[in-house]
Structures are given as C-alpha cells and as structure tokens.
Structure 1
Amino acid sequence: MGNSKSPLVFLMSVAVLLLSLARVGRWISSHISLQSSVEAKSALITERYSCRQDYTVEIISFDPWVIYINNFIKEEEINHLLELTKDAWNSSEVFYKPQDHEDATFGVDKNTRNSSSAFVPHEDLVARCLLKRTKQLLGNAQHENVETPQLVRYTGGERFRPHMDTIEPTKATNFHPDYTERPWNRLLSAFVYLNDNCTGGETYFPRLTGVGADADGSKFSRAANRQGLLVKPKRGNAIVWKNLFNNGSVDERLVHASLAIRSGEKVGMNLFTWHYFDSPMVGDAS
C-alpha cells in the first residue's frame, strides 16, 4: 500500500517545489522592479532639481544693512545637506588669541565657541545652487568669491559668544580653508536655519534696533532689556547682513552671538561672500 502512494507523494512534492520556485521568481522580479523604480525616482529627483528662487524678503535695518529671508532654502535642499554631512561633524574652530601666545591663531576655543561644524564641498549640486543664490543677493556689488558652505550644530548649553564674522586680513587669511594671498574680508554674512527643534539658540544682535511689537513673534523678539534684536531659529529662513562699510572697514554694529541652547538642537549654515580690497565694492575700476 505504501508503494501505491509513492508516485502521488512524489508528484505533490514536485508541485510544491515548483510553486515555491515560482513564488521566489516573482519576489525576485518584484524586488528588481522596485529597486529599478527607486533608482529611476532618485534620478528623476536629480534631473528635476531646479536652483530657483522663491523666497520673500523683509527689511530689518537700512543702516546697517540687514534683511530677513523667508524660505531661502527648500526642504529637499535641507534634507540633502543634513544627509550629506551626517558623518562629517567636528568641533567648530574660531580665530582667537590663546593666553600663552603673542599672536592669534585658528583652532578650537570652547570658551568662545563650543558647537560642531561640517563643510559642504563646493562641487555639490545644492551647494553650487546656494552659493549662486547668495551671490545674487549682492546684485551689482562685488561677488567674486563665496566661502565653502559651513554647517553648524548646537545642542544643550552650546553657544557662540559675541563676535564679528570679519577676519583680520593681515593675520588670519593663511589659517582659512579657502586661503588666498589676495587681501580680502567677509562682505556679506548669511545664517540659514536648517533646524528649529530647540528652545533658546537665538541669533542676538545687541547693537541693532529691536523690531516693533507687531513683528512676527515666531521669527523675532526683543531682548529682555528691550535692546537689540533676537532672531529665532526657523527652519528654511535666513538672516543676512553686510559686515563692511563701503570703504572696506568693519562695521562693528553687526557684532552678534548665538545664544545658548536650553533644549533640543539647532542646525544652521554659514554663507560668506568676500570683498577683495584691490577692487571696488560696487561697480568696476574702468
């Protein structure tokens, strides 16, 4: 009797095996198709990416020149930058004068600045777009060079004490990653907020006139002493200012600080344009 069932058992086993193979084949085909679809979608995102400008501008101050930009950077650009730099963070450096040195140097000084930084290569597609966007803010002013974009991250208690973004050309240029022997200084500063998941962390300008009482409280506020301007982190937006007078000297009214983070995390991006002293700030020498 056992022998009479053997052919049937064999045929059933073969059928199960063939069915299993068919299912595996369909799974492999589906997986390959899905993978191709994902790759095609990624390629489509790259192809459709446009360096368009769709932001709006609010004037903060005419003198000194300070503007606030809504939607300076798009969500897809933010996500790209954060993904690109996720493993590139190091302690932020600053130009400072150690107590045991006669001259200033460039390095980590956590008493002044205790954040983390990551640089975005110039050749990156989004970086090229943002550098172009920053240059276009200057219109007919000199905008030959824009520094390598620098992301900065602040977490609990971290801050950057009051400082100027300008660099003393005769001493500091050889420490800078974009070093050039041609004398220069930072003309325009743009600080772009990539993340606002925090309390505290405002960008504070103690010498700027505070905004009015009807200003958007999610973006601006006055300091407790009603002096100066507090700019709150707001994802996608930017604060932009001009560091130099037209003769190239430093406008110290633009001293500013990143106040301490009380909770959460702030991520931003520094964009700096350069003014070369051997060329006019506006127009040309001809």
Structure 2
Amino acid sequence: MAPLLPRPLLAALLLASTASSSFVTASRDDGGGRFDPTRAVHVSWRPRAFLYKGFLSEAECDHLVALAEEGGLQKSMVVDRLTGKSVMSQVRTSSGTFLPKKQDRVVATIEERIAAWTMLPQENGESIQVLRYESGQKYEPHVDFIRHTAKGYHSRGGHRVATVLMYLSDVKMGGETVFPNSDVLIADLFPSCMHISFFPTYDLEINLFGHRPRRCSLKTTHGQSVHDVVKPVKGDAVLFFSLHPNGTTDPDSLHGSCPVIEGEKWSATKWIHVRSFDSRPRVPATGCGDENDLCPRWAANGECARNPRYMVGTAGNPGFCRKSCNACTSSL
C-alpha cells in the first residue's frame, strides 16, 4: 500500500465533499463558471459518491469534444495490475485522448473547478482524459485505485484517491454508469423514480472479479429491467472516492460503464492521486529532517503511531516526518 495521507488532510477531503446534502436541480445552460457547492449532492456513502448538476456548460462540453477530435483518439487502455503499465484490454473498448492541463484557458478553468470541488491540489491529478464510447462499447466493472501488486505503483503519485467523471453528451440509449456494490437505491438519487425502488446491477456469470458480465442492466426490485433511469446528462459530473478516509482502498468503489446501445457517449475523466502526479518520483531527503512544515503538529497529535507509513516510512521508503517522530538522529 502507498503511504497514507495524514488524517487532517483526509478529514478535510471528506468534509469538503459533504458540503451540501440537498438535491439541487440546475439547468445545464447555467453550468460551468466558478464552483458552487450548493449544486453538489451526496448520493452514496459506500462508495463515497457525489453528483454535481451542471458542472460543465454546454459550450465547455462541446469544446472538450472538439479538442479530443482535433488531437486524435486512440484505443483506450487499462493499467495492468502486475506491471503498472498501460495495456490493451477488451475490458475497456472506448477510444480517447488526454488533454494537457494548460492546453487552453477553458481546460485550465475546468482543472481549477475540479480542484475546488475535490479540495485536492491540481498537481495531484492526471491530465483529463476525454473518451468516446460508440455503439456496443463499454468499460467493465473495475476499481480506480492502483493495486499493490503493480510494480512501481507508488512511484508517481501513489494511489488514485478520487475520480471525477464528467458527461460531455447525452446518450440515446445505454451508457449508464453503475456502482454494483453501492448501498444506495437509484430511487434515492432521482426523485422522479420514487414510486419504485431501482438499483444498478450487472448480470454475472459468477462474480465481478473473475468473469465478464453477460449483460449490463438496471433492474427494479421486481426483477424488471430498466434502461432509461441512469443516463449520462450532458454537463453533469460525478465525484467518487476510491479510498476510505483512513487511506485504505475501498472495494465498494467498483464501477463500470454500460454498453452504448444507441448513439454515442462522450465523457471526460479526471483521476486524482494522494500525492503530486506532476513531479518526478520523490527522492527522500538525506539526513534527519521533516519534509512538511506541519510535521511537528501532526507528531504532537499522535500521527507517528496512527499513520507510520506516511510519517516514519520504512528503510527503503523513508517517511515525510522522521525528525518529528524521533525516527532518526540529527547531526546538528
């Protein structure tokens, strides 16, 4: 496991994400602009997930799609759990491209808005990936955190702590985003469906991790399939966390994108890590010292014992607060 974040920062992330708990209906035309916490609604605790109506304006959505088309789309890849490298896989059949963070003012503004919503530094995020799903294309159930078996997974940014999924188009049929392990009924998220309880599910051969789903569907509690409840809405965005507040991985963050049945689906994904993704792999400072000004305060609050991986570290991967934790001896 990658070094855990200090609890004060993790607590701040949780509080920031739960700033609003009331559903706010918003016109997609007045999306965009500055971050407005009143437009974000909590939708699930398992996983921790939040919906922002009108996160992007129509013009911003169209602009991202245009940039992706101009730059050229490539077959989407996945992270190999053993090597940590990007590889081709039938698990993910979309095409996409990455947009540099400062490609233009529109992209830079969206990056700033994402940072404001998540309360995570821009440098912790990967570049926005714009994806196109054509008819029949999908992304099977998966998690975004980097499995500990991947070689070198912690060398650049550590775990993915959060994901922001932005919808850039409507879809005629299909393309729903589902969280198979979620503890929330879809009826709780969409008031128009309150007359009946819906929940997302995948039809599976045996289990989510060992076999591919036969069919991606939404079903009522009576077993009836529903295909028009959770559809991508142009301009909306979903934020969900792949780690628990204590920094451990959350298997309930398992999610997938149903196949597009009719039309095409455009989306933009932002993966955010626990540490800077922009900087080169960290080279621990030599000697005895702290690498964060808050180390003395964290140590005084007992973080050396509660969070030893981050604070003290190991012989091969020294922590960030070794001096304050009395894990080394200063020559001064």
TM bin, normalised by shorter chain, reads 0.5 to 0.7
- CA displacement at 1:181 relative to structure 2: 2.8
2: CA distance between counterparts of 1:62 and 1:233? 21
- CA displacement at 1:193 relative to structure 2: 0.4
Judge conservation of contact 1:115–1:158 (CA < 8 Å) in 2: yes
Backbone CA RMSD of aligned residues: 3.2
> Residue 47 of structure 2 aligns with which residue?
64
Task: Write the mapping of 1:1-286 to structure 2, written as runs, cut at 5 A.
Answer: 51-54=33-36, 56-87=39-70, 88-96=72-80, 105-109=85-89, 111-124=90-103, 125-139=105-119, 144-168=123-147, 171=150, 181-208=155-182, 209-212=184-187, 215-216=190-191, 222=199, 223-224=218-219, 226=221, 231-276=230-275, 284-285=294-295, 286=297
- CA displacement at 1:205 relative to structure 2: 0.6
Structure with higher helix content = 1
- 1:224-252 C-alpha deviation (Å, 9 max, x unpaired): 1549xx74200000111111012322101
- Residues 142 and 214 from structure 1, CA distance in 2 versus in 1: closer, same or farther, beyond 3 angstroms? closer
1: CA distance between counterparts of 2:188 and 2:251? 26
- Residues 128 and 92 from structure 1, CA distance in 2 versus in 1: closer, same or farther, beyond 3 angstroms? same
- 1:157-204 C-alpha deviation (Å, 9 max, x unpaired): 111110001123662657xxxxx8355111111110001133011001
Name the count of aligned residue pairs. Answer: 220
Q: TM-score, normalised by structure 2?
A: 0.59
Judge conservation of contact 1:162–1:255 (CA < 8 Å) in 2: yes
- Residues 151 and 182 from structure 1, CA distance in 2 versus in 1: closer, same or farther, beyond 3 angstroms? closer
Q: Which amino acid aligns with 1:233?
A: P
Unaligned segments of structure 1, at least 5 residues:
1-49, 175-179
Unaligned segments of structure 2, at least 5 residues:
1-31, 200-217, 224-228, 277-281, 283-292, 298-332
- CA displacement at 1:221 relative to structure 2: 5.2
- 1:201-225 C-alpha deviation (Å, 9 max, x unpaired): 100111112133682459x953315
Q: Which amino acid aligns with 1:276?
A: R
Runs of 4+ displaced beyond 6 Å: none
- 1:248-281 C-alpha deviation (Å, 9 max, x unpaired): 2210101011011111000000012211399xxx
SS of 1:212's equivalent in the other structure is: helix
